[in-house]
A and B are shown apart, each in its own frame.
Chain A
Amino acid sequence: MAVARRNPLLTLGKYAAILFYLSFALFPLYWLLKISITPDQLIYTEGTALWPTDATLENFGKVIWQTDFLRFFWNSLIVSLAAAAITTVIAAGAGYAFSRFRFPGQKLVIALMLLTQMFPLLMIIAPIYKIVAMLGLLNSLSSLILVYTAFNIPFATFLMQSFFDGIPKDLEDAAMMDGCTRFQALRKVILPLTLPGLGATLGFIFTAAWSEVLFALMLIRSEDSMTFPVGMLTFVSKFSVDWGQMMAAGVLALIPSCLFFIFIQRYLVQGLTSGAVKG
């Protein structure tokens, strides 16, 4: 590749722009972290100072040992992992079928799936509540898993379909000529090539479920099965908001998402680019 000589001012400008964007995007996270380590008595007195004069981990200790937060965390983890896993498995199957087969009613199914994406959630939250209540699933984690899975399947299916579309059909034909059954061809040739897509889909659904608050708020009332975004609201009491602990909880909530993304990052980057290059 030829390296063109660049105007140094332009390069400087580019980095300045990136720096500005980064600080803009990361500032809320910084603020979260800053308040979480600010001692309670300083929160209001030095409210807007960029740097606290004293730091403490007290808030983290309180959140972990004196509140139900570990339980909320655990609940969120179960719901998000289950929703991500179930959605990805179903979406992979459906996406493969849409990508490889032509069957009667296919267009109708695709149209219906698109249709479900057109309504604002607020419109359907009442009927969903009613359905979940009738199923006797209110206040249970399975209700959330069910709802998240149902709502994420269409998007995840289209995502997976585009990944399967990116894998040449010749590869399956070649595998079948080499002696595979269709299922063997899927497992030995197509699946390894779809890992980036699976990773991307898993990550996407996991984050969506992890931070979902509307359904969690509506369908879960008991503290036992609260997920973490709903649990955050327990820091808001009638007369005050416990900012320090709330922010500490927020910082802790970032950890699983970060870990998950570090874990799938390799696949995700590959996946996003392979999706992007394919016209």
Chain B
Amino acid sequence: MARLDLVGIEKRFGGVEVLRDVNLSIADGEFIVLVGPSGCGKSTLLRMIAGLEDISAGEFQIDGQRMNEVPPRDRDIAMVFQSYALYPHMDVARNMGFSMEIRGAEASARASRVAAAARTLGLDKLTARLPRALSGGQRQRVAMGRAIVREPRAFLFDEPLSNLDAALRVEMRLEIARLHQRLKATMVYVTHDQVEALTLADRIVVLNGGIVQQVGTPLDLYQTPANRFVAQFIGSPTMNILGVSRTDSGVRLANGAEIALPGLSGPVAELGIRPEHLDLADPATAPLTGTADVVEHLGSDTNVYVQVDGVGPLMVRQHGHVPLRAGDRLGLVLQPGQTHAFTADGRTVRA
């Protein structure tokens, strides 16, 4: 097991800067998720940890040792690829034992490790098959098995679930969580899916445009996002953002309603409120009134898209079933203390 340190990591392809000044300490046994929209550099960062991409500047260390110049095979890190990258001409057992084969391990040791890994992943009946005779989920398991057999210092996952259907994705997500609990290994996981990030991570690293936006636990990111990007990226449905003007004691919405934000100093240009932090109220007394545009009945929740008078569209999520229909008039109140204030350039303003 290992501690991974990224110190001032940068990546340039020619003149194009892909990653800028990434600093991150990953503790032994920690599950880190790199998350961000496509093109944010998260996969590149993972490949730099793996040794498949050169590091343009900065230093990458494993247990305090500089790794920049160490080839992938000597870093003792296993990686699960998005495409699975199973060797098509080798059967499942040989795919999983290939790393030991290359290192010249004894055939009997190899066979027992492969068999053990196959058992934990439910692949024991498939070890003689070729990858093309497997389903997507089974291929995914083989790819994970290949990493487990290695007994590496750290595991890397590059969007491992994005080629699976929704049901299988949930199942494999659980399996990865179990794997982490069982092995207590350091894991770095790349995804663009914030649900995967929130469910799996000890800590999440949010990347955008090659810059680390925030590092924190799932709850940190949800409750105290560092900026508007993180606020909107984490949490589903997405946080509502309203344009506001500053008053002495708080902010004023476009429809004239005033919201007190005690203790807040500095300019505020926008106010964020998550759909689950808006409550329905009597239109006669509520600060915000509007018309239900679309109502989604999910059973456990009800999502309401509201055209708010003088403000614009807002999304509201209510727990349980709410008997509303499109076109209904309704009032909204903001739950106190659940708003997020941002400056014009998107930074969070805290009390």
Contacts and interface: CB of A to CB of B under 8 A. Distances in A.
Contact of A170 (B51, B85, B89, B99): B85
Interface in A166-190: 168, 170-171, 173-181, 184, 188-189
Contact of A168 (B83, B99, B150): B83
Contacts of A171: 85, 87
Contact of B102 (A170, A173, A180, A193): A180
Q: Is the interface of A mostly helix, strand, loop or mixed?
A: helix
Given A168-B85, A177-B77, A193-B88, 15 more contacts: A171-B85, A173-B85, A174-B79, A174-B85, A175-B87, A176-B52, A176-B72, A176-B73, A177-B50, A177-B52, A177-B73, A178-B73, A178-B98, A178-B99, A178-B146
Nearest to A171: B85
B283 interface: no
Contacts, number: 55
19 contacts: A168-B83, A170-B81, A170-B82, A171-B85, A173-B52, A173-B79, A176-B52, A176-B71, A177-B73, A177-B79, A178-B98, A178-B99, A178-B150, A179-B99, A179-B102, A180-B73, A180-B102, A181-B71, A193-B88
A187 to B, nearest CB: 11
B115 interface: no
Interface in B44-86: 47, 50-52, 71-73, 77-79, 81-83, 85-86
A192 interface: yes
Contacts of B88: 193
Contacts of B98: 175, 178
Given A174-B79, A177-B73, A184 B85 contact: no
A180 B52 CA distance: 12
Contacts of B102: 178-180, 184, 188
A22 to B, nearest CB: 33
A171 B98 CA distance: 12
A170 B99 CA distance: 15
Contacts of A193: 88-89
B94 to A, nearest CB: 10
B103 interface: yes
A176 B79 CA distance: 10
Interface in A148-177: 168, 170-171, 173-177
A170 B88 CA distance: 12
A173 B50 CA distance: 9
A174 B73 contact: no
Closest 7 CB pairs of A and B: A170-B85, A174-B85, A178-B99, A179-B102, A179-B73, A176-B72, A177-B79
Given A178-B98, A179-B102, A173 B81 contact: yes
Contacts of B79: 173-174, 177
Contacts of B83: 168, 170
B89 A177 contact: no
A188 B88 CA distance: 12
A179 B85 CA distance: 15
Nearest to B87: A189
Nearest to A174: B85
B103 A179 contact: yes
Most chain B beta carbons < 10 A, residue from A174, A175, A179, A180: A174
Interface string A238-253: 0000000000000000
Given A170-B81, A184-B102, A177 B72 contact: yes
Nearest to A182: B71
A181 B73 CA distance: 7
A192 B89 CA distance: 7
A174 B87 CA distance: 9
Contacts of A180: 73, 102
A170 B150 CA distance: 18
Contacts of A177: 50, 52, 72-73, 77-79
Contacts of A176: 51-52, 71-73
Contacts of B86: 174
A180 B150 CA distance: 13
A100 B47 CA distance: 17
Contacts of A184: 102
B209 to A, nearest CB: 25
Contacts of A189: 87
